[in-house]
Amino acid sequence: MIRNTWHRILFLGLSIMLISSVLACVSCSTPTTQPSQVEQVTPPPYTSSEPTSSSTTPLEAEPSMPSSGLIYEDDFSNPDTGFGGANSADYAAAYENGEYHITVNTPNFTAWGLNTEVGPLKDFALEIDARLISGYVLNSYGVIFRAADNNNFYSFIVTAYGGYRIEKMLDGKWSLLTITKESPKIPNLTTKLLKKESGNTNRLKVVCKGAKIDVYANDSLLTTIMNESFTSGYVGVIVTAGESPLEGTTKSNTHVAFDNLKVYRHE
């Protein structure tokens, strides 16, 4: 009786081990699909989303810029001031009605223009009006500065939904110097675009002094960073079309008009 009980216990133990082994093999041979992490979509061709060392300062009123320090200004009434023009299936750039227009027709496409007739500039303050006329949900637009050429420069970008960031292109590869952040100082323009209302202009400003870079929108300081990749260069404008057009809009493009460019000497 004791022997039969022992055999039963042994048989039960072996059965449990066998079942466990089968289940383990099934688990190993049948890979499970893990849900992918949802990330915020940003226009390519970013190669890195890791921000470099940067510091953030509180929002404050913009300091006045003395008019005596003005070294260049452009109201874009003259089509020969150096930005040039272009027309392709992906984008178009042209002087029109006293503004400089860039229209990007292809999603995830970036177009920019440099003015190499002014500079190179080292320490300076730049101001420009950027008027968003139509756009994709994730469009972005802004200014290029300290550009050595078309493959090496900084850019200060704002978005239709009220965000901003500072980017860098080094040897043709993009990276983010700050992640995209929303600011109450940058109005969310998506509703205005849908209603085709006016007033879609942001006044953008960049101040460079050595490695220190301050960026402003609508007379308010957004952030300050330190970066030594480029110490001087030219200025320009940039527009990126995002993933998809705003629902309800008739045109699938991102159209931005730039005006009232001013560059000041910054001692």
pLDDT at 141 over 80: yes
Domain range annotation of the chain: 54-265
H or E element that contains 7: helix 2-29
pLDDT at 172 over 60: yes
CA-based nearest residue to 142, from 124, 159, 162: 159
Torsion sign over Cα 205, 41, 240, 151 = positive
H or E element that contains 250: none
Residue with the larger pLDDT of the pair 108 and 178: 178
Is residue 46 within 8 A of residue 177, CB to CB? The reply is no
For the chain, what percent of residues have pLDDT higher than 90? Answer: 53
Task: Count the Cβ atoms, other than its own, within 10 Å of residue 258.
Answer: 26
Is residue 121 within 8 A of residue 233, CB to CB? The reply is yes
pLDDT tens for each residue of 102-127 = 999 888 899 999 998 888 999 999 99
pLDDT at 186 over 70: yes
Cα(23)–Cα(100) distance, integer angstroms: 67
Is residue 226 within 8 A of residue 247, CB to CB? The reply is no
Domain at 54-265, CATH from 3.30.1330.10, 3.20.130.10, 2.60.120.560, 3.20.20.70: 2.60.120.560
pLDDT tens for each residue of 215-234 = 999 999 999 999 999 999 99
- pLDDT at residue 64, as a whole number: 45
pLDDT at 38 over 90: no
Is residue 66 within 8 A of residue 266, CB to CB? The reply is no
Torsion region of 263: left, alpha or beta (phi above 0 gives left; psi -120 to 50 gives alpha): beta
